[in-house]
Chains A and B, each alone.
Chain A
Amino acid sequence: MTPKPGTVATLSSIDRFARVCGFSPDAARLVALTTFESRLRPISPESRKLLAHAADLATRSHGAARKPNAAYLPELHETCGLDVDAMYHLLKELEDGGFVEIEGKYPFQDVMLGSDAQTGWPLIADLARFCAAEKIPLRDLIVDLRFDLLR
């Protein structure tokens, strides 16, 4: 059964998220998070899956020097089973929505996780780190929109 999407509504509802990621749960963060949530809802589930996967790759420990908050296209290709055309199609939707930025020129491109436009907060990366720390599948948040899990 698909879980009913939960929402972020109050400051206290992001306490756990703030604690794990080391920021203070102020009004600006709450606004950023609720804005992010409302922007994410209309994005196709396929693109949300790709975003979750990219965020996971960009933030997991690889034990090697790495550009911060970047998923590399070859590793995306090799781990998610999307071919090149499908990948660019979904990335376009994510880029248009401001969730990622494609950096570099073809064929040497990286997928940078987007930040909150107002505050510069690397929100997607923090969500990924929160999920890793709390052992919550990132897909539950990004794909199934279970923002209630942040509480």
Chain B
Amino acid sequence: MIDYNERIPNNVDLAGDKTLQRALERWQPAFQNWWGDTGPMGTKDFQVYLRTAISVDREGWANFGYVRMPDYRWGIFLVPRDENRKIAFGDHQGEAAWQDVPGEYRSTLRRIIVTQGDTEPASVEQQKALGMTAPSLYDMRNLFQVNVEEGRHLWAMVYLLHRYFGRDGREEAEFLLERRSGNADNPRILGAFNEETRHWLAFFMFTFFTDRDGKFQLASLAESAFDPLSRTCRFMLTEEAHHMFVGESGIARTLQRTCEVMKEHGLTDPGDGRQFGVIDLATMQKFINFHYSVTLDLYGGDVSSNAATYYTTGVKGRYEETKQSDDHKLTSQEYPVYEVENGKIVEKKVPALNALNAKLRDDYIEEIQGGINRWNRIPEQMGIPFRFVLPHLGFHRQIGTLAGQFITPEGKVLTEAEWNQRHGEWLPSREDHKYVESLMGRVLEPGKFANWISPPARGINGQPIEFEYVRFN
């Protein structure tokens, strides 16, 4: 169980390591200042109906109640140690998992932890204004739940930096609070985390597409030979699951509302619906194209010697490594990647060890397709022939073997001039953003929802939909 009597709630016996405890207690006020400065705007006095982790057990670990967000008990939670855990892959396969950082992998592990840690506060910063335009109290609460948990994930990474990386780690922990999403002088590390989340459609897309990248990265790190990293990521995954639910159900409810309006007014054109204040299907497809393609870039280059090194050294595994039926060394297997040759997309086989980013991304795509299929049930149930489609792997890519090519969602290679003429058909334009933003108005009455989104069927933790999920003092 988690000790909430401590100044920093934890299940890592922080009290038993006074030096570490003091260091983290020094970092804590800086974190709270960061939250006050760049967390959800104007929410200092809100009482929010939040879940708080009370145990690291997967079943029944959450407790619900009103919390003033600055008083949220951010803490350090790792799943319990398995004394017999062995390294499942790479050169150290079969050896006992590391309880400390091997000197030769210190900088690699630190870089991975910092990169993961940097995304957590970044997303809070990206979403800081969304509370001002929440379509309901229910949605506002879900946003804040996601935000506080991203804050907790920052704590998770900072604990590792402080505990295992000495002075370097403490400095990196400070830098995590100094970088700012979108700041030209001191931006967040990954490009996708420097774009402002301007409206709720983008928020739902982000939690569906980009948080899922987070899930796959965390799942790969949960396989790490460095056991404290693995145990931290395993618990983070339980919280991340709900964030993706917020995204999937948010889009589903938006889609539901649009389809209801289309049916009510006999609309058949997917570009139709704006006159009734909903987000038309064609615009939603453009946002899917955008968020999907920028998230694919987060997986890095298709062919990567860094990824191969991470794997061989045991620092980062594959998604569900222990369920793979190969030798877990990948010395002789191949994996397909795609390139453009003579204006055509062609498949090339490369050593599987070098294609680990591509493999992780393909696992992600498979799961995303499942979500798209579920969304497509909604127009199908309502007799509307439109279906969402994932764009081609090469569409709108900035990183990887297809970066810089001009490829349509169907996978046709265009010239730059053709692309410039047509990209507005596939990606959200300034006008599309402006239209979606025009729908965003704050709905504060319990049980009421903005016109562009359907209410959920059920409330949170068994509470009714008209429950006061956020109280304003």
Contacts and interface: CB of A to CB of B under 8 A. Distances in A.
A78 B60 contact: no
Nearest to B457: A108
B97 interface: no
A74 B249 contact: yes
A81 B237 CA distance: 7
A23 B204 CA distance: 48
Contact of A78 (B51, B237, B240): B51
Interface string B308-337: 000000000000000000000000000000
Nearest to A105: B381
B456 A53 contact: no
A110 B245 contact: no
Interface in A47-84: 49, 52-53, 56-57, 62, 64-66, 72-75, 77-84
Nearest to A139: B59
A143 to B, nearest CB: 9
B238 A81 contact: yes
B457 A83 contact: no
B58 interface: yes
Contacts of A79: 51, 59-62, 461
Given A53-B60, A74-B456, A83 B240 contact: yes
Nearest to A71: B462
A110 B377 CA distance: 16
B296 interface: no
Interface string A81-113: 111111010000000000000001111111000
A77 B242 contact: yes
B58 A78 contact: no
Contacts of B370: 85, 88
A105 B457 CA distance: 10
B431 to A, nearest CB: 29
Contacts of B238: 80-81
Given A84-B371, A105-B381, A78 B215 contact: no
Majority SS at the chain B contact face: helix
Contacts of B60: 53, 56, 79-80
Contacts of A52: 59
Contacts of B139: none
Interface string B253-264: 100100000000
A108 B245 contact: no
A72 B237 contact: no
Contacts of A84: 241, 244-245, 248, 371, 374
B335 to A, nearest CB: 23
B58 A83 contact: no
Nearest to B239: A81
B378 interface: yes
Nearest to A57: B462
B234 to A, nearest CB: 10
Interface in B224-248: 237-242, 244-245, 248
B215 to A, nearest CB: 7
Contact of B253 (A53, A57, A107): A107
Contact of B377 (A81, A105, A139): A105
A72 B461 CA distance: 9
A85 B460 contact: no
B378 A107 contact: yes
Interface in B328-379: 367, 370-371, 374, 377-378
A110 B459 CA distance: 12
Instruction: Name which of A62, A74, A82 has the most chain B CB atoms within 10 A of its CB.
Output: A74
Contacts of B374: 84, 88, 106-107
B96 to A, nearest CB: 22
A86 B323 CA distance: 15
Nearest to B59: A53
B316 to A, nearest CB: 20
A119 to B, nearest CB: 28
Given A77-B242, A78-B51, A139-B59, 11 more contacts: A62-B462, A64-B463, A64-B464, A72-B457, A74-B456, A78-B242, A84-B241, A85-B371, A106-B377, A106-B381, A107-B457
Interface of B: 51, 58-62, 215, 237-242, 244-245, 248-249, 252-253, 256, 367, 370-371, 374, 377-378, 381, 456-464
Q: Which 9 A-B pairs have the closest CB atoms?
A: A81-B238, A108-B457, A107-B252, A62-B462, A83-B241, A72-B458, A77-B245, A53-B59, A79-B62
